[in-house]
Each structure stands twice: as C-alpha cells, then as structure tokens.
C-alpha cells in the first residue's frame, strides 16, 4: 500500500514537472510567434549565410525570455522571498512581455518604435490615438485586456511553479539558459563579425529589436567602430540663438498682407489632379509656386512637420524652443504687427502637441471633429468669421484632416469605387499588414475620396476669397504636412520608415505682389523654406528671423542631401534621415552621435556597393547644418535675392 502510494506520488510529481516545462516552452513559443512579426524595411544584399540566419536572429530573444522566466522562478521561490514580492516581480516581467508584444505590433503596423516615454505620452495625451480613429473606449478596453492578460499569466505561472521542487526549477533554469546560449553564442559571433565590418544589412537587422542583447548597449564604449556620424549640435550656438529670440526687437512688416495657410493632412506629391481635386486644380494658374515633385516635408509625421513649416526650423529645434518657453518666432512677429492669429481647428494643434508654440491671444477654434474630421464645420466657421472681419491683417491656419487614415468622406464625396468602409477596430485588424492589390485599390480609393472631400472645402474657401475680395492681397499657402504610402515600400500611411511616398508632399503658394507667371524651381525644397519665402513676400530684404530655410523667390542652389526627421520620438526625432538623389539612409539619435540604422534606394531597388556611404561622408555635414545647428546670430541675417 505504501509502495502504491509512493508510486502514485511519484507519478503526480512527474506529471507536475512535465506541466512546468510545458509552461516554459509555451511561453517561449508564444514569444516566438510575437517576434515573428518583426520586420526590417529596406532591400539589402546580405553577407553569406545571413539570409538563413536572419530568420533565427529574432528568435534568440524568445529563448532569452524563456531563460529569464525560468531563472526568475528558480530564484524567487527561495524560502526567503515573500509571496507578495514574488508575484509583483512576476507581474512586472509579464508587463514587459506585453510591452514587447505591443512594441512588435506597433512597429509592424506603423513602423514606430514604441519607447516607454512615447507610451506615457500616448496615455497622457489621447489626441494622437484619436487621430488614428481609436476611441477612448477602445483604448480603455485594450488596456483592460492587457492587464487582465498580465494577471492571468502571473496567476497561472505562480500556480504551476509553486508546486515544483527547487530541483525541478533549477533544471528548468539550466535547460533554458543552455538553449539560449546554444542559439545566441554562434549567432552573436556571426553578427558581431559583420557588425565590426559595418555591414549595413546586418546593422539594420541588429537595430530593429525592442531591446538589445549587445554588450555595446550595456557597456558604453565597448566597441567604438560602429558606423556612425558625429553630432554637430552646439550648446553655445543654441543658447545664443535662443537668447537672440528672447531679445529680438520689434520688427515692422514692410508690406502687410493677409495670410491664409491651408494644411492638408497626408497630401501625397501626386495627389492633385483634375479629377481628384478639381476645385484646387482650377486655381492652379493662380499659384506662382506649385511644387509637386521635389518638395519634402521635414518629417514623415505631423508633430515635427507642422513645427517646421510654421517656424522655418528643423524639428530637431522644437524641444529647445519649448524648454526655453518660447513661442513660434514667425507667429510672434505677425502678432507684434497687429495680425490676428486664428487656427481654425484646435484639435489639430492639440493632436500635434503644439499648443505651446502659439503666442498668447491666438484664437483656437473648438470644432466637433466627429463627422468628416470637422473640416466642413471648420470652413463654415472661417467663412463666418471673415464676414465680420475688420481691417486688422489676419493669419488663418486651416487644417483639413479628412485625408488622414482611415480617410474620411461622406456619401456625396464617394467618387472613386470600390471604397469599403473601415471601422476603427478594423484598422488594427487587417489594413497595415501586407494587402493584396485589390485591397490596396480600396484603400487608395478611400484616400482619393478623402482628398476629394478636402478639395470641396478648399474650393469653398478660395471661391469665397475670390468673390468677396481678399485673394488679391492674401498670401495663400497650400501644403501637405507629409506624404502617404500605399505599400510602395511595404508600409501603409506614414510615421514609419521615411521614403519618397511618406516624405514628399505638395507646396503651392499664391503671392499677391508678384507676376502670375510660375516660378521654375527644379531642386529639392523642404518645409523650412516656407517661412523665409513668406518673409520676402512681406517685403523683408533679409531673413530677419534667422530661419534654417531659404526663400524660394530668389536663386536656389541645389542641396545634394537633405536632413529630415523620422518618427515622432518624445524629446527629439528618433532618427535623422539623409536623402540624396538615389538613397535614403537613417541614423538613430544618441547624445553624442548618430548610429547607422538602415539604407534603402529611393527607387526600391537593391542596395549594393558603397556609393550611398560615399555620398553621406561627402555631404552630410552641410545638410546637418539645416538640422542640428541653429543659425549663427553673431553674423548678419542672410540677404534675400529676388529673381
């Protein structure tokens, strides 16, 4: 009987032990499924053998997670560790696991790297989430499910682990540590070999992970040979520039003109045509500047793009202005000259987190954005406000948001078909994975319908300006904050890896004191060029605001390389992208340098050879001066040279 009882107990222990190891392998397998969705954008020529090894590269992180879990369960179940402490640590571990899962999902879906700081910003300011069509309820449900999952995994793990002996838990820790090292050591040796050669394909893969297993990340200075670019930022020059802005004397605008600024969300460089935007198309001869091919946003996301267009400064400078408590120098100049500053949709500026940029007294209109993003209501309010306008010069900023994903329009604007409806939930269910050509047709049609809806509001605005007077003495700016991608480079929408489709947009400018003939501009331009162009149109003979751009009204030298912001980040743009005639390379920001993180050809072809690197080494410093370095205020302002 005792023998039978002992045998039954041994069987129970064996079954319990199997369940414990099944738990560890299940967690590792679940991690493998999550990490399988990691995707590195770009077309690379891999070194020998890497085409196979890259499939194993991200799997090492799953085994690392399994090894950490097994080691934790072994250590935490020591008698000296209180149960409550064990559960708290275990819950934190699963919180990190869920965060990695969300990181992978967001990176795959949007191309954004979800740092803890950015997560805090999203939770504190819900506006960026609402811009993606996600409601407060859906966000709350997502958080509830995440924390319920953490609680469930914690409880299940604690139940199975607590029934094991320390001997079983020790075997589990040793087994998974061995499995991790068995995969990691040879893979790491192979990868490090090519990292030391600065192989750009391997560097790109090694960078696209939620967290690093590299010693150089854990031990700064461990390896100094990584392909990088030095930061040329200067604290002294930044301080001098900010002090100059604080002490700037009141400047008189020589030629006061009303300014109407129409910002169209996600307006691609090829979006304007006679069928999609017929109202704007009929005014095409009224704009002396009409850039549709080589105009770039300073960023592929609204936050830094709008900042750049309104200040003439790179998005890199935004945190410095905010920390100094300064507002937009351009808007401050207008306000000091009696301009009435009016932003037609407060929600747009809030979603871009730029309210601090606006001078006190700026009118920001609250508009209900529930229907068609509020664009018709915004234009109604603007037209009504114009009826009661006095002789005060005015600056009006109208943000048309219908072309933002998921592309809003009403039945009367459904010109292009098929254009299937997408609920906010379905946004995350299927559209950002690779779509078939038929599915993409539906997405493109929705986008064109949304542009058609925005065009209707543009037509109402310009027609009113024309018929009721004002067009002749109004500077009209029509611009896209950034572009939009429809999988031309494997991505959807924007804010991910910058390329021609996410970065290139439209800039049209009507300048009332110039002949109507269009200006021939055949070199790349960017958003920071808008403010100096407006300054010259207002009669200034020099760049009195010391912008980083250049006026488009004078002779324009070619820029062989542009420095642009990629992704929002929290304090600074997370990446600097260098755009040349054929390549876009991305460089991750650190406090002292930029680390190489990817390269792609602009035409989508395979990246071969080192031509791109030779271009970077030759041209990046000049391009960085319109990115990191604020203008040198110890020198006289740059003179404008009208053609």
How far is Cα 568 from Cα 379, in angstroms, rounded to an integer? 29
How far is Cα 359 from Cα 330, in angstroms, rounded to an integer? 10
Phi-psi region of 542 (alpha: psi -120 to 50; beta: other; left: phi over 0): beta
DSSP string, 373-437: GGHHHHHHHHHHHHHT--SS-EEEEEEE-TTSTT----GGG--SS------HHHHHHTTTSPPPH
Percent of the chain residues topping a pLDDT of 70: 88
Tokens of 322: 């905010």
Provide the greatest CA pair distance for the chain. Answer: 108
DSSP string, 54-110: HHHHTHHHHHHHHHHHHHHHHHHTSTTS-HHHHHHHHHHHHHHHHHHHHHHHHHHHH
| pLDDT reading at 133 higher than 70 | no
| pLDDT reading at 338 higher than 70 | yes
Residue 303 burial class via C-beta count within 10 angstroms: exposed 0-12, middle 13-18, buried 19 and up: buried
203, 81, 116: which is closest to 571 by C-alpha? 116
How far is Cα 406 from Cα 471, in angstroms, rounded to an integer? 33
Q: What is the CA radius of gyration of the chain?
A: 28
| pLDDT reading at 622 higher than 70 | yes
- Supply the pLDDT for residue 117: 67
Residues contacting 22, CB < 8 A, separation 6+: none
CA distances from 445 to 267, 452, 591 (A): 14, 10, 43
Q: What is the per-residue pLDDT across 288-299, written as a single tens digit (0 to 9) for each?
A: 999 999 999 999
Task: Pick the more confident residue, 344 or 138.
Answer: 344
Comparing 84-98, 117-131, 150-164, 388-402, the range with the smallest average pLDDT is 117-131
Task: Pick the more confident residue, 199 or 362.
Answer: 362
Task: Pick the more confident residue, 554 or 423.
Answer: 554
How far is Cα 619 from Cα 338, in angstroms, rounded to an integer? 42
- Supply the pLDDT for residue 226: 72
- Supply the pLDDT for residue 222: 52
Band of residue 324 on the pLDDT scale cut at 50, 70, 90: very high
How far is Cα 216 from Cα 214, in angstroms, rounded to an integer? 5
Phi-psi region of 291 (alpha: psi -120 to 50; beta: other; left: phi over 0): beta
Strand partners, 342: 363, 396
Tokens of 264: 């169209």
359, 445, 441: which is closest to 397 by C-alpha? 359
How far is Cα 231 from Cα 618, in angstroms, rounded to an integer? 15
Residues 156 and 23: beta-carbon distance below 8 Å: yes
Q: What is the per-residue pLDDT across 59-114, written as a single tens digit (0 to 9) for each?
A: 899 999 999 999 999 999 888 889 999 999 999 999 999 989 888 887 776 666 77
Comparing 129-138, 262-271, 479-488, the range with the smallest average pLDDT is 129-138
Band of residue 643 on the pLDDT scale cut at 50, 70, 90: low
- Supply the pLDDT for residue 423: 47
Band of residue 521 on the pLDDT scale cut at 50, 70, 90: very high
552, 559, 558, 479: which is closest to 519 by C-alpha? 552
- Supply the pLDDT for residue 367: 92
| pLDDT reading at 590 higher than 90 | no
Tokens of 330: 């351009």
- Supply the pLDDT for residue 424: 41
| pLDDT reading at 605 higher than 70 | yes
Q: Spell out the SS3 assignment of 286-328.
A: HCCEEECCCEECCECCHHHHHHHHHHCCCHHHHHHHHHCCCCC
Task: Pick the more confident residue, 56 or 548.
Answer: 548
| pLDDT reading at 404 higher than 60 | yes
Q: What is the per-residue pLDDT across 418-456, written as a single tens digit (0 to 9) for each?
A: 988 754 444 433 444 467 778 888 899 999 999 999 999
What's the whole-number mean pLDDT along residues 310-323?
94
Comparing 44-48, 211-215, 375-379, 525-529, the range with the smallest average pLDDT is 211-215
Q: What angle do CA 490, 581, 311 make, to 5 degrees?
A: 85
How far is Cα 588 from Cα 209, in angstroms, rounded to an integer? 13
Residues 194 and 92: beta-carbon distance below 8 Å: no
Number of H helices, E strands in the chain: 22, 16
Comparing 261-265, 426-430, 486-490, 533-537, the range with the smallest average pLDDT is 426-430
340, 310, 309: which is closest to 327 by C-alpha? 310
- Supply the pLDDT for residue 129: 56
Report helix, strand or coil for 118: helix
- Supply the pLDDT for residue 425: 40
Q: What is the per-residue pLDDT across 146-165, written as a single tens digit (0 to 9) for each?
A: 999 999 999 999 988 888 88
Report helix, strand or coil for 248: coil
- Supply the pLDDT for residue 122: 64
Q: In which residue are the tokens 């260098």 written?
A: 578
Band of residue 1 on the pLDDT scale cut at 50, 70, 90: very low
Average pLDDT, the chain: 87
Task: Pick the more confident residue, 468 or 511.
Answer: 511
What's the whole-number mean pLDDT along residues 172-178?
96
Domain range annotation of the chain: 12-226, 252-410+445-560
Residue 633 burial class via C-beta count within 10 angstroms: exposed 0-12, middle 13-18, buried 19 and up: middle
- Supply the pLDDT for residue 5: 52
- Supply the pLDDT for residue 432: 44
- Supply the pLDDT for residue 79: 83
326, 447, 290, 473: which is closest to 394 by C-alpha? 473
Residues 261 and 239: beta-carbon distance below 8 Å: no
- Supply the pLDDT for residue 636: 94
Band of residue 55 on the pLDDT scale cut at 50, 70, 90: confident
Tokens of 612: 């791109």
- Selected from 3.40.50.2000, 3.40.720.10, 3.40.630.30, 1.10.10.10, the CATH number assigned to the domain covering 252-410+445-560 reads 3.40.720.10
């Amino acid at each position: 009987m005792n023998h039978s009882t002992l045998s039954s107990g041994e069987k129970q222990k064996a079954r319990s032990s199997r369940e414990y190891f099944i738990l560890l392998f299940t967690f590792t397998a679940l991690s493998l499924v999550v990490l399988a969705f990691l995707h590195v954008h770009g077309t690379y020529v891999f070194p020998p053998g890497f085409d196979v090894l890259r499939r194993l590269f991200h799997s090492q992180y799953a085994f690392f997670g399994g090894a950490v879990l097994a080691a934790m369960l072994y250590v935490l179940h020591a008698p000296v560790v209180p149960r409550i402490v064990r559960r708290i640590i275990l819950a934190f571990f699963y919180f990190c696991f869920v965060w990695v899962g969300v990181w992978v999902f967001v990176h795959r879906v949007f191309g954004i790297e979800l740092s803890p700081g950015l997560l805090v910003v999203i939770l504190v300011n819900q506006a960026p989430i609402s811009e993606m069509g996600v409601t407060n309820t859906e966000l709350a449900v997502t958080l509830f499910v995440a924390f319920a999952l953490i609680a469930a995994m914690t409880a299940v793990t604690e139940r199975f682990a607590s029934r094991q002996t320390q001997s079983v838990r020790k075997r589990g820790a040793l087994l998974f540590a061995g499995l991790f090292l068995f995969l990691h050591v040879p893979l790491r040796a192979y990868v490090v070999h090519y990292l030391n050669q600065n192989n750009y394909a391997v560097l790109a893969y090694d960078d696209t992970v939620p967290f690093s297993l590299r010693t150089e990340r854990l031990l700064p200075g461990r390896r100094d040979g990584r392909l990088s670019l030095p930061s040329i930022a200067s604290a002294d020059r930044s301080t001098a520039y900010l002090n100059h802005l604080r002490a700037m004397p009141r400047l008189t605008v020589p030629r006061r003109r009303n300014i109407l600024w129409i910002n169209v969300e996600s307006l691609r460089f090829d979006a304007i045509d006679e069928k999609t935007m017929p109202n704007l198309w009929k005014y095409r001869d009224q704009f002396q500047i009409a850039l549709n091919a080589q105009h770039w946003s300073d960023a592929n996301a609204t936050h830094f793009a709008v900042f750049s267009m309104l200040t003439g400064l790179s998005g890199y400078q935004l945190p410095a202005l905010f920390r100094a408590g300064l507002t937009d120098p351009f808007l401050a100049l207008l306000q000091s000259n009696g301009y009435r500053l009016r932003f037609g949709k407060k929600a747009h500026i809030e979603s871009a987190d730029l309210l601090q940029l606006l001078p006190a007294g700026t009118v920001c209109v609250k508009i209900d954005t529930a229907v068609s993003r509020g664009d018709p209501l915004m234009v109604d309010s603007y037209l009504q406000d114009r009826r009661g306008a006095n002789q005060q010069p005015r600056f009006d900023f109208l943000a048309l948001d219908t072309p933002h994903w998921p592309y809003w329009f009403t039945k009367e604007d459904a010109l292009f078909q098929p254009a299937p409806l997408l609920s906010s939930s379905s946004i995350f269910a299927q559209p950002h994975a690779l779509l078939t050509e038929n599915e993409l047709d539906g997405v493109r049609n929705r986008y064109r319908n949304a542009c058609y809806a925005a065009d209707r509001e543009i037509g109402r605005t310009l027609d009113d300006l024309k018929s009721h007077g004002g067009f002749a003495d109004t500077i009209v700016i029509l611009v896209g904050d950034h572009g939009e991608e429809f999988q031309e480079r494997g991505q959807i929408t924007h804010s991910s890896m910058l390329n021609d489709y996410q970065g290139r947009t439209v800039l049209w400018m009507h300048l009332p004191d110039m002949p109507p003939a269009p200006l021939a501009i055949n070199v790349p331009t960017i958003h920071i060029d808008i403010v100096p162009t407006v300054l010259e149109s207002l009669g200034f003979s020099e760049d009195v605001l010391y912008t980083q751009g250049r006026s488009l009204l004078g002779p324009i030298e070619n820029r062989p390389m542009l420095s642009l912001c990629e992704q929002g980040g929290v304090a600074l743009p997370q990446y600097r992208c260098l755009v040349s005639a054929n390549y876009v390379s991305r460089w991750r920001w650190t406090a002292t340098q930029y680390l190489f993180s990817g390269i792609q050809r602009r035409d989508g072809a395979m990246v071969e050879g080192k031509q791109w690197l030779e271009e970077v080494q030759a041209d990046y410093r000049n391009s960085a001066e319109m990115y990191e370095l604020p203008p040198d205020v110890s020198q006289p302002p740059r003179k404008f040279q009208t053609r």
